[in-house]
Amino acid sequence: MSGVSIDRRFRLESYAVDGVIPKMVLAPEDLDDAIELVSVASREGLSITPRGSGTKLHIGAPPKRLDIVLLTEHLNEIVDYEPEDLTITVQAGVRLAELDKLLRKHGQMLPLEPPYYDLATVGGTVASNYNGPRRMGYGAIRDLVLGMKAVYSGGILAKNGGKVVKNTAGYDLKKLHIGGFGTLGLITEVSFRLYPIPEDDRSLYVTFKSMKEVKRAIDRLNRSPLLPTAVEVLDKGVQGKLSSFSRVELPSADFAMLIRFEGLRVDTEREMMDSKDMLMGGKVEVLDGGEHERVWTGIREMQRIAEGCIVKLSYPPSLILEAFKTVREFAEGKVESYSHAGSGVQYVFVDEEELVKFVLRLRNEFDGREFYCVVERAPTDVKKEIDVWGYERKDLKLMRIVKKALDPMGLFNPGRFVGGI
Amino acid sequence: MVPKEALLELERAVGERWVLKDPIQLISYESDALSLTRSTPDVVVLPKDEDEVIEVVKICRKYGIPITPRGSGTALSGSAIAVKGGVLLVFSRMNRFIELDEENGVAVVEPGVLTKEVSDIAKMRGLNMYFAPDPASYEVSTIAGNIAHNAGGPHCLKHGVVSNYLLGARVVLPDGEVYEVGGKALERPGYDLTGLLLSSEGTLAIITSATLKLSKVPEGTRTIMAIFDRMDDAAQAVSDIIASGIIPSALEFMDHLTIKAVEEKLKVGYPLDAEAILLIEVDGLKDGLDVLADRIVEICKRNGVREIKRARSEEERELLWRGRRGIAGAVGYYAPYYLLEDGVVPRTKLVEAMKKAREIGEKYGFIVPNGCHLGDGNLHPYIMFKDLDEETKRRVMEAGDEILKACVELGGSVSGEHGIGISKKELLPVIYSKDDIEVMKRVKRALDPDGLFNPGKIFPD
C-alpha cells in the first residue's frame, strides 16, 4: 500500500492534535488506497483521524487515541461539474478556494464560508459543519449537500443521496456526517447544489447605542419583505478588529449591524434605501466593491483574526438580546463577541483564565433552555478541565446508537465528540 | 396478529371508540394513493396526543405488533399501507397547531395538521410568512406524511424540499421512548438526527410534533406561460434561463399528450397542437420581477416560442396554473386508470427522459403523458391503462420500472418526491449498491431491532 509514512515529509509532531502525536500520518493516493487503508486500520484496530488542511482539527475534546492521521490531500479531483444543472461533485480533499476559482468561470458559486478559507477543504468544512454569515440567505451546509460518499469501518464505501436537488430514496445518512466531525467514517466525495453569482452584492453598516436598539432593528428587518443574505451584530472589540483587518474605516460604537444584500441591482438598491430608514441606527456606512469584499472576508476570517479562546453559542435567534447581555455580564466586559444574527450563532472571544468559569456560568444560566455553549478553541490543558461540547440532551442516547451502528469498533476520531463519542 | 389482550390494552390506552376492528371500517384503510396495492391492517388506532402514541408504541412493542403510521393516506408509494398487518396508527385526531413563534419564524404543529394549513394559519394570524413546500397534495396531505417522505412539489428548485424547512421534532422511537431532536436553534452540537429520523417514511420514528421553519411570503410573483412547437426548443429555453443566472421559483413542463388531455377536460385555453408548454414563475422583491420576467420572455423568443401569456393578476395566475394542477384528473381522457411514476434526472436530461418514457410506454402498449417539475428534473409520467386484470397490472409496473431505470441511467434517481415505500423498494438496488443499502440497514437494525415500525417498506426483501 502506498502512502505509508516512510516519507520524511511527514514529521509526526507537526500533525499532533491537542499535544497528542499520531503514530502514523498517511496520505492515500486515491480512493482505492483510502478504502484499503481504512480496511487495514479496521483489521488492526487502529484509530483514524481524517485531516484536510487541519484548520478545524482543534475543535473537539483532546483525542483519546491518535493512531492514524489520514490526509485527504490526494483525494482532490473535481468528479463532475454540470453548470447547467447547478450541481458539482468533488472529492473531499479539494480546497474551497480552488473550487471557487472554477465556479467563478461559469458565473456560479458555492456559498461556503468557513474561516481559514484559503486552506479549508470540502471534507473538513462539511465534517465540521462550519457555516458562515450567508447561511441566512443560502441555507446551511446540510441544505447545500445533495449527496455524499464515505468509507466506513471495514473499508466499506457507501454512497447516500445523489446529484439531484430532489431525492427521497432511502435514509438521509449524509446528514449524520455533516457536523459529525469525522466520527462515523471518512468522507471521500460530496455533491453540492450551486447558485449563480448575483448581479449585485453590497452591504450596510449601521451603529447602535444598545443591544435593545439592535434587537428592535432586527425585528423590523424580519417583519419587512426585505431579503438580506446575512445579518451580523458586532460589539466594539470585533468592530475594531474588522476595521483594521479590512482596512476600512468603520465607525465605532457599542454595537453595529452589518447587513448584506445580493441580487438584481434594482432590488439591492431598494433594500439598501429601505433598510437605512427602517433600522433607525446612528451612523450608516454603505459598502460596495473592494471595501465590501474585504469587510466580509474579515467577518469570515474572524476566528483566525481574533486571539484567545473561542466559545461558540447557538440558540433560537430571538434570544440574541439576552445572549449578548448575559455574555457581557458574566465576562465582566472582558470579551469580544459577534453573531450571525440571522442564524442564532454567536462567537465569544475570551481569555483562557476566564474561560472555564465563564462557560460553566453560561451553561448553568441557560440550563433547560435551548442554548448551546461549545468551547471551540482553547489550550489543551484548559479543554481538559471541561466538557467542551456540553451536550446533555436525551437524544445523545440515539447518537450513541448511531455511532455504534456505523462505527462499531470506535475507530473514527474516538473520544473527540459529544458525550465522549 | 393482534392478540385479545393487546386489543384490550389498546382500547384502554385511547378509548374503545378510537380502536377500529370491524372489517368494514378497515377497508377504507387498505391502501393509499398507490391504489394497485392493498392490505388491511388488523386494527386501526387513532390517538389524540403524544402520551397516547407512546402508550400504543409500548403496547405494540410488548406484543411484537408492527405499526404503520398514516396521515391522510395520500402517499403514492404505498408507505401508508400496513403490508404486514398489525396496527395502522392514524393521526387525523392529532391536528393541533401548537405554536406560532413569529419572532423566530417557526411553527410547531401536531403530525395531523395538513401541510397547506400551516401556511393558512400563519396568514390568518396576521403573519406575512408561509410554509414554502407545496407538494401537489398539500391541501389534503398531512405535514407528518410530507416530512416522512421529504416531499417536494413545483417550487423545489428555488425553495427546496421539506427537509430544508424541518428544524426539529418530538418523535417516538421503536424503544417506546419519546425524544426531542433538533429545535428552534438552527445549530447545535452532535449528529443531525432530525434529517435521519424524520424522512425515513415512518420506519425509524413516529412524529408527535414537528418544528417547522417559515419563510417570508414573496413580495410578488410573475407567472409566464410559454407555448412551444418543439420539446427541444422548450428545453433549450430552460437551459438558457438558468444559465443567465435566473432561478425561477417554478418551472413546469407539459408535453403534447398532457396538453391535449388538460385542454379537452378542463378547457383552460391551451392550443391542442402545441408540443410543449412551459409554466415559469419567478418570485421575490417586487422591483426586480418585471426585469426577470422580461429576460425570460426574451430568452423564450430567442428559442422559437410560439406564444407567451403573462398573468397580469392573481386570477390570471390561477388560471395558468389550473391546467398544471389539473393534470392528474385530466389524464383520464386517455384511460380510466394510471400508475403515476416519479423519476428524477439532471435537468439537462429531462426532455430525453420524457421521450424515453413515452417510447417505453409505447413498447408496452400504454399512452404515457408527462407532467414535469422541469426546474429540478423531476418527471411524472402517467402510465395510462384500461384494464385491471393481473396481466395488465404486471405490465404496467414493468413499464414503470423500466422508465425509472432509464432515469437512473441518465444520472438520476428512482424517486424525486414520492418516496420508496413498497412501490420502489425492489428498485432501490438500481441506485444504491449492496453496501449503500447495508449501511442504511445497520441504522435501521440499531434503532428498530424488532422491525416494528412500518415493516416491508424501503428495503428490498
pLDDT per residue as tens digits for the range B426-445: 778 877 899 999 999 999 99
Q: How confident is the model at residue A10 (pLDDT cuts 50, 70, 90)?
A: low
Three-class SS state of A102? helix
CB-based contact B452:B66 (threshold 8 Å):
yes
CA angle, residues A153, A154, A155, in degrees to nearest 5: 90
Above pLDDT 70, what percent of chain A? Answer: 97
List the single residue in B187, B191, B344 with the smallest CB-CB distance to A180.
B191
The residues, any chain, with a CB within 8 Å of residue B404's CB and separated by 6 or more, are: B341, B343, B414, B424, B427, B430
pLDDT beyond 60 at A1: no
- Closest residue, chain A, to B345 (C-alpha): A164
Above pLDDT 70, what percent of chain B? Answer: 100
pLDDT tens figures, B4-33: 999 999 999 999 999 999 999 998 898 887
pLDDT tens figures, B117-130: 999 999 999 999 99
Smallest CA–CA distance, residue A45 to chain B, in Å, is: 20
Residues A344 and A341: their CA atoms lie apart, in Å, by 5
Three-class SS state of A96? helix
> Of residues A233 and B270, which shows the higher confidence score?
A233
User: Which of 393-412 (B) contact A at CB < 8 A?
Assistant: 411-412
Q: How confident is the model at residue A388 (pLDDT cuts 50, 70, 90)?
A: very high
Averaged pLDDT for residues A362-378: 97
Neighbours of B446 (CB within 10 A): 18
Task: Read off the pTM.
Answer: 0.94
The number of angstroms, rounded, from the C-alpha of B147 to the middle of its chain's C-alpha atoms is 9
The answer to whether A222 contacts B103, with C-beta atoms less than 8 Å apart, is: yes
Three-class SS state of B210? strand
Read off the C-alpha cell for A144: 447545500
Averaged pLDDT for residues B333-348: 88
> Of residues A168 and B185, which shows the higher confidence score?
B185
Residues A260 and A266: their CA atoms lie apart, in Å, by 15
pLDDT tens figures, A93-102: 999 999 999 9
Mean pLDDT is lowest, of A311-315, A365-369, B36-40, B419-423, for B419-423
pLDDT tens figures, B113-169: 999 999 999 999 999 999 999 887 888 899 999 999 888 878 888 898 899 999 999
Rounded to the nearest 10 degrees, the angle between the axes of helix A265-279 and helix B286-302 is 170
Q: Tell me which H or E stretch contains A306.
A: none
The answer to whether A399 contacts B242, with C-beta atoms less than 8 Å apart, is: no
Among candidate residues B39, B74, B44, B48, the one with its CA nearest the CA of residue B145: B74
Averaged pLDDT for residues B333-356: 88
Residues A261 and B222: their CA atoms lie apart, in Å, by 22
Q: Quick check: B126 contacting A, CB < 8 Å? A: no
pLDDT beyond 60 at A207: yes
Q: Quick check: B125 contacting A, CB < 8 Å? A: no
HSE-CB at A284 with a 13 A cutoff on CA atoms is 14
- Contact residues on chain B for A141, CB-CB shorter than 8 A: none
Q: Quick check: B309 contacting A, CB < 8 Å? A: no
pLDDT beyond 80 at A407: yes
Among candidate residues B284, B282, B285, the one with its CA nearest the CA of residue B297: B282
The four Cα atoms A205, A208, A210, A214 give a dihedral, to 10 degrees, of: -50
- Model pLDDT, residue B204: 97
The answer to whether B189 contacts A389, with C-beta atoms less than 8 Å apart, is: yes
Q: Tell me which H or E stretch contains A408.
A: none
- Model pLDDT, residue A4: 47
pLDDT tens figures, B54-71: 999 999 999 999 999 999
Smallest CA–CA distance, residue A414 to chain B, in Å, is: 14
Residues A151 and A258: their CA atoms lie apart, in Å, by 41
User: Which of 85-114 (A) contact B at CB < 8 A?
Assistant: 85-87, 107
- Contact residues on chain A for B414, CB-CB shorter than 8 A: 169
The answer to whether A316 contacts B183, with C-beta atoms less than 8 Å apart, is: yes
pLDDT beyond 90 at A34: yes
Three-class SS state of A124? helix
User: Which of 307-346 (A) contact B at CB < 8 A?
Assistant: 314-318, 343-345
Backbone angles phi, psi at A72, to 5 degrees: -95, 10
HSE-CB at A139 with a 13 A cutoff on CA atoms is 20
Sign of CA dihedral B368, B373, B376, B378: negative
Instruction: Report CA-CA distances (Å) from B123 to B107, B110, B370.
Output: 12, 18, 34
> Side chain identity at B366, as an amino acid letter?
F
User: Which of 42-71 (B) contact A at CB < 8 A?
Assistant: none
Quote the strand ranges of A288-328, DSSP E.
Answer: 309-314
Three-class SS state of A188? strand
Strand partners, A230: A260
pLDDT tens figures, A47-57: 999 999 999 99
Residues B274 and B266: their CA atoms lie apart, in Å, by 16
Smallest CA–CA distance, residue B292 to chain A, in Å, is: 9
User: Which of 182-201 (B) contact A at CB < 8 A?
Assistant: 183-197, 199-200
Residues B284 and B387: their CA atoms lie apart, in Å, by 47
- Model pLDDT, residue B153: 78
- Model pLDDT, residue A2: 47
pLDDT tens figures, B299-326: 999 999 999 999 999 999 988 888 888 8
Averaged pLDDT for residues A107-129: 98
Beta-sheet pairing, A372-377 with A345-350: unpaired
Determine if residue A87 is left, alpha or beta; phi over 0 gives left, psi from -120 to 50 gives alpha, anything else beta. Answer: beta
How confident is the prediction for chain B on average, in pLDDT? 92
pLDDT beyond 70 at B424: yes
Residues A358 and A321: their CA atoms lie apart, in Å, by 18
- Model pLDDT, residue A235: 96
Beta-sheet pairing, B206-213 with B166-172: antiparallel
- Closest residue, chain B, to A177 (C-alpha): B191
User: Which of 190-209 (A) contact B at CB < 8 A?
Assistant: 195-199
Give the A:B interface size as CB pairs under 8 Å.
259
How confident is the prediction for chain A on average, in pLDDT? 95
Averaged pLDDT for residues A16-20: 95
pLDDT tens figures, B186-226: 999 999 999 999 989 999 999 999 999 999 999 999 999 99
Averaged pLDDT for residues B166-194: 97
Strand partners, A78: A90
